[in-house]
Structure 1
Amino acid sequence: MSSGNLLTDHPELYEERFPDPERLAARWAETTLRRYGSGPRILDIGCGTGRDAAWLHHHAGRDVTAVDTAASMLAHARRHHPGPEYRQADMRDADLGRAFDAVLCLDSALLHCHTNADLAATLAVCARHLAPGGLLVVEMRNGAHLLGDRSLLDGPATATFRRGATTHTSTTTLRIDHAAQLLRRHRVWTADDGSPPHEERTAWRLLFPQELRYFLAVAGFEVLALHDGPGPRTEPVWREGDPPGTGLRADRLHLAARLAPGGHPHPTVPHPNGATTP
């Protein structure tokens, strides 16, 4: 049985498994950027396959720099979604040497910050890369949702999708690691083309609204909006013209925050290596 992350290693499968033909995620982000008066320079952290970054570049006229840790995703982005400047970087310590008007962090990318130090370091990176008054726009799963709806944890879930002549099937089991405050996922992929099964073990931070507000305040941000739906991955899905929501109980969180005047990371927030932010 092989290991790794099948969809990260094969971005074409990611786009087949999670299609977004209307580019709802990018359009939602653009609407949010316009609502809060963002300038054109955008940093997309955790850009994945580059679909959203390229749409913002070509259709919204944004000057987009997009970063990801996965070389496979970046290679796919440059080939299939050209336009933005794509760079390999870790969200916890990226240093791009320039300022942006807004930072985007979509599709739960922020939840790869598994520890408080990871989260503090990433928000400090966002703050350091923003011009005065710059925006942070985030879309991700809502950790608090699992407090009231544990149906996702009831047992293995199976899903299939087809690419070409091959049907891919995933069997997924989720569990909560209470001590680490993580949602841990065990997934096995099989395909009907004779390839061996593929096993994955991944995790996401369970972030709750109040602790998110705290970390943002420490990093120098003031929250402009924090709500569950509507959004590009909610049900019902967001549509152009929908106002920001007010609830905080559903599966997704949507955040807009502004770097406060003179905003900067608090000097006592630790980086992952144990040092403090400057």
Structure 2
Amino acid sequence: MTAAEARNLLTDNPALYEARFPDPDRTAARFVDDVLQAYLPDVAPCSPTRPAAVLDLGCGTGRDLGYLAGRGYRCVGLDQSAAMVDYARQLYPGVTAALGDLRDFQVDETLDAVICLDSSLLYCHTDSELQSCLRCCRAHLRTGGLLVAEMRNGAFFLGNTELLDHPTHSFFSWQGRTWRAETTLWIDHAAQLLRRRRHWRIPDTADELVQTSAWRLLFPLELTGHLRRAGFAVRAMFDTPGPRTDAGWPTGSAPGALPDLGESLMSGDRLHVIAQAI
């Protein structure tokens, strides 16, 4: 693989993506499973009458849906990467994956839950894109169904600059090769976007690849307003614990039992929301 052959190094190479972002304990999927069992006890995953139908927007490799399918959920995934969709279909039995755009989508399914993890919702860069996505979510959900989202927290960047405006370096090993990247984050204040420039060095070659991406920065009250206008009631919003926080997501709890979320200050770098279709 050369830089010229890659549009996006990680999303075009799903196995490399999973190596870069390992989740051996399936923390993200367990987070979703616990939330759904707590808020949708009438459609427990292994219910003989009707297992819960779950759509993952930005499903990536299908790893989270693969876990949920193994728990008995009926799982559908949408992603813009054809490589990711093919990988999910091949590697994770019980997962139905298709190409799709979370900003405007249609699936032939009435859903119990829509999940949108790892800041996928923040690829909606404008209010109109976000409103379109949330309207699509509400149109596919049954009344009482859930939207479960996990993302960067815009409020975190109000007073924290340690992640911004200077390069950071990272590396990981896969199949005996070391992959290195230099990453710089900065805020585009006018567009309310967190922008990223990542410079990859392809191992064992002279090839390099520079990629740019951006995420909408949403504040808790702002997101709550968008959800209400789209037909949702926010049932919980918190910064920690969570699958990508320092505190992590606890293991070994009873099915459907959530940790004590307490009174969240919403100052952490992650934002989690559980919203119910009304």
Tell me if TM exceeds 0.5: yes
Give how far 1:245 is off. 4.6
Distance in 2 of aligned mates of 1:195 and 1:244: 48
Distance in 1 of aligned mates of 2:19 and 2:84: 14
- Aligned residue number for residue 244 of structure 1: 261
8 A Cα contact 1:57 1:83, kept in partner:
yes
Distance in 1 of aligned mates of 2:91 and 2:262: 34
Q: Deviations over 1:113-168 (max 9, x none)?
A: 01111100000010000011111100111111011211001410000001112110
Cα separation, partners in 2 of 1:246 and 1:93, compared to 1, 3 Å: same
Structure 1 spans left out of the alignment, 5+ residues:
261-278
Q: Are residue 32 (structure 1) and residue 38 (structure 2) matched?
A: no
| Corresponding residue to 2:66 among 43, 54, 57 | 54
- Aligned residue number for residue 48 of structure 2: none
- Aligned residue number for residue 275 of structure 2: 257
How many percent identity over aligned positions? 47
Distance in 1 of aligned mates of 2:147 and 2:66: 19
| Corresponding residue to 1:129 among 133, 140, 148 | 140
8 A Cα contact 1:228 1:246, kept in partner:
no
- Aligned residue number for residue 11 of structure 2: 8
Q: Deviations over 1:44-77 (max 9, x none)?
A: 111000000010011x210111111110111111
Distance in 1 of aligned mates of 2:132 and 2:262: 28
8 A Cα contact 2:74 2:94, kept in partner:
no
Give how far 1:246 is off. 3.0
Superposition misfits of 4+ residues, deviation over 3 angstroms: none
- Aligned residue number for residue 185 of structure 1: 196
- Aligned residue number for residue 219 of structure 1: 230
Distance in 1 of aligned mates of 2:181 and 2:262: 33
Give how far 1:195 is off. 4.8
Q: Are residue 144 (structure 1) and residue 147 (structure 2) matched?
A: no
Correspondence list, 1:187-202, <5 A: 187-202=198-213
Q: Are residue 101 (structure 1) and residue 112 (structure 2) matched?
A: yes
Where 2:273 maps in the other structure, the secondary structure is strand
Tell me which amino acid in the other structure corresponds to 1:226.
Answer: M
| Corresponding residue to 1:172 among 161, 180, 183 | 183
Question: Could you tell me the TM-score, scaled by structure 1's length?
Answer: 0.90
Give how far 1:82 is off. 2.5
8 A Cα contact 2:88 2:95, kept in partner:
no
- Aligned residue number for residue 93 of structure 2: 82
Moved more, 87-96 or 120-129: 87-96
